[in-house]
Structure 1
Amino acid sequence: MQLTTEDFKFICQFVYRTTGIVLNDSKREMLYRRLTRIIRERKLNSFAEYCQLLREHGEQEEDYFINAITTNLTSFFRENHHFEYLTSEELPALIKNKTVSANGKKRLRVWSSASSTGEEPYSIAITILEALKNELAQWDIKILATDIDSNVLAKGKTGIYDMNRIEEIPKKLKKSYFFQGSGKSSQSVKVHDKLKSTITFKHLNLLHDWPMKGPFDVIFCRNVIIYFDKKTQQELFSRYYEMLAPGGLLFLGHSENLGNYQQYFSNVGRTIFRKP
């Protein structure tokens, strides 16, 4: 099948309009492979037919299409220096400085805004529970995990992973936070309920309304901003800024930066930014 320039251009525009993600010629091969799979699943004959389906039934097709073309590369404790910073700097400071709220507990709110299959929010939960384990009863901890892809969210909610996904996690943490399956599931692990109870998984397109109220003490927005153009990036940084509590942290991916919005944050570590 041939992906014409016209069809490729239309698909790129549809992706940008619905997700804010910018695709260029360097993504053409990737898009070709993923569209070919969609066309087979939809029992169509050409890219042109699928483009016509998007024109006529774009809203109904949107979730299926986005799930098929988005990239979901993740792992437990990916870019581990962020979790080390939480452990050594941020969480000790919060333990020391957080005041008791109306419910009689200290409030901690974290948002994993591109949570993929859940490894990131579960890594956040492990880090927090380890740091606060001597006084967990004094804390009201909630982690919000959102993603545009409903399939990966469903995976994250199960908390079930192949054994090889946790190979690099220290043995002590594996024992505390994961259960190994048995029988046919012996090569799988499931996260402990004490992790799952802190996390809420929700579908969210970052370009649409954000229904949560915040404020958040920490926001992870890693390896997603690179897919947006500069204008959309700056708009998102503005919205993240508003969602952060004063003194809150924003974590970006290893190849990302705040651009012009850097003036509103202080840089406290590698791709770690604090709201004044």
Structure 2
Amino acid sequence: MQALSDDTFRRVSEIMYEAIGLSFSQSKKPLISSRLASRIHKIGLPSFEAYVDLLEDHNQAAEFQMAVDLLTTNETYFFREPKHYELLEQDLLRRKDRGPLAVWSAASSFGDEAYSTAMLLSDMQRKGQLGPDWSILGTDISHRVLLSAAEGIYPQDRLRHVPQEQMHRYCLQGEGPATGQVMMQESLRAHVRFGQLNLTKSFEGLGPFDVIFLRNVLIYFDTPTKIAVVDRVLATLRPGGLFFMGTAEGRVPCKTRLEALIPGAYRKAA
């Protein structure tokens, strides 16, 4: 198979940017080439050009979704960036109102973030620190990762930062062929739901939320798209609500007024 040409690389970039806002600089060309090559070989196409023709066919939505999965990174694990969960717990403890609480994991990937948050909130409910009316919405662009998230089954290593007490309380240990895997308990999964969402498109009617996680997804967008996405997401956050980004993502790109709390954590101005 011939190498990925500059013209075909531009076609891939334009398709992904127009459809879901993914932005690829020229430096990403080797990455795109390596990730698509194995897929092209597997489905028996002769070239990158033929594969891009397939992606432009609106009747090939499943293959387009496969390409999205290949070109985005979904590495994650439970209780990633623990300082964020500590801040969330402290903030909720200071709340006088124990009424409904709505959390949005806006780039939920395989659901590690959503279920980590659910473990924290469930623990607080058990201690009488939080009412029973809490819910978590996890959304992602990838249908494949959402199907996995809804199943709630994970390699045990992904829960390496989960205390044993929580493991026993919220996880079922796999046996036989499933040894080394864990499943989230139904009591935990009942508070969590997942749905597909493109953050670069309008999503009117969503929210309002008390807490939003938008971590480690903005790296895929150019600056104008980042600003539009963050402001659109923050429009669904209640005044005074908490907003979390990845600590390595730098300054939050938005026009909405925020108060910085700790690295990657903000409060929306009242």
Q: Which bin holds the TM-score, normalised by the shorter protein?
A: over 0.9
1:59-98 alignment runs, 5 A limit: 60=61, 61-87=63-89, 89-94=90-95, 96-98=96-98
1:177 to 2:178 alignment: no
1:220 to 2:222 alignment: no
- CA shift, 1:132, in A, is 2.3
TM-score in terms of structure 1 length: 0.90
Name the counterpart of 1:15. 16
Name the counterpart of 1:186. 179
Name the counterpart of 1:102. none
After superposition, the Cα gap between the structure-2 partners of 1:91 and 1:31, relative to the gap in structure 1 and judged at 3 Å, is same
For the Cα contact (< 8 Å) 2:108–2:114, is it kept in 1?
yes
Structure 1 Cα separation of the partners of residues 66 and 257 of structure 2: 37
Q: Could you list the per-position Cα deviations for residues 236-269 of structure 1 after superposition, in whole angstroms to 9, with x for gaps in the alignment?
A: 1211221001101110011224555366111111
Q: Which has the higher helix share?
A: 1
Name the counterpart of 1:103. none
**Stretches of structure 1 lacking an aligned partner (at least 5 in a row):** 99-105
For the Cα contact (< 8 Å) 1:108–1:139, is it kept in 2?
no
- CA shift, 1:179, in A, is 1.1
Equivalent position SS for 2:30:
helix
State percent identity of aligned pairs: 34
Q: Could you list the per-position Cα deviations for residues 34-70 of structure 1 after superposition, in whole angstroms to 9, with x for gaps in the alignment?
A: 1112212332000011122233447634323212222
Structure 2 Cα separation of the partners of residues 231 and 140 of structure 1: 37
Equivalent position SS for 1:261:
coil
Count of matched residue pairs: 267
Q: Could you list the per-position Cα deviations for residues 207-255 of structure 1 after superposition, in whole angstroms to 9, with x for gaps in the alignment?
A: 1232543110000000001211111111112112210011011100112
Structure 1 Cα separation of the partners of residues 7 and 16 of structure 2: 14
- CA shift, 1:93, in A, is 2.1
**Stretches of structure 2 lacking an aligned partner (at least 5 in a row):** none
1:232-243 alignment runs, 5 A limit: 232-243=225-236
1:1-276 alignment runs, 5 A limit: 1=1, 2-57=3-58, 60=61, 61-87=63-89, 89-94=90-95, 96-98=96-98, 106-135=99-128, 138-259=131-252, 261=254, 264-276=257-269
After superposition, the Cα gap between the structure-2 partners of 1:147 and 1:138, relative to the gap in structure 1 and judged at 3 Å, is same
Structure 2 Cα separation of the partners of residues 175 and 264 of structure 1: 41
- Detail structure 1 runs of 4+ shifted over 6 Å in the superposition: none
For the Cα contact (< 8 Å) 2:74–2:110, is it kept in 1?
yes
TM-score in terms of structure 2 length: 0.92
For the Cα contact (< 8 Å) 1:178–1:190, is it kept in 2?
yes
- CA shift, 1:30, in A, is 1.7
Q: Could you list the per-position Cα deviations for residues 79-126 of structure 1 after superposition, in whole angstroms to 9, with x for gaps in the alignment?
A: 111011112x211023x234xxxxxxx110000011111111000101
Equivalent position SS for 1:139:
coil
Structure 2 Cα separation of the partners of residues 4 and 169 of structure 1: 45
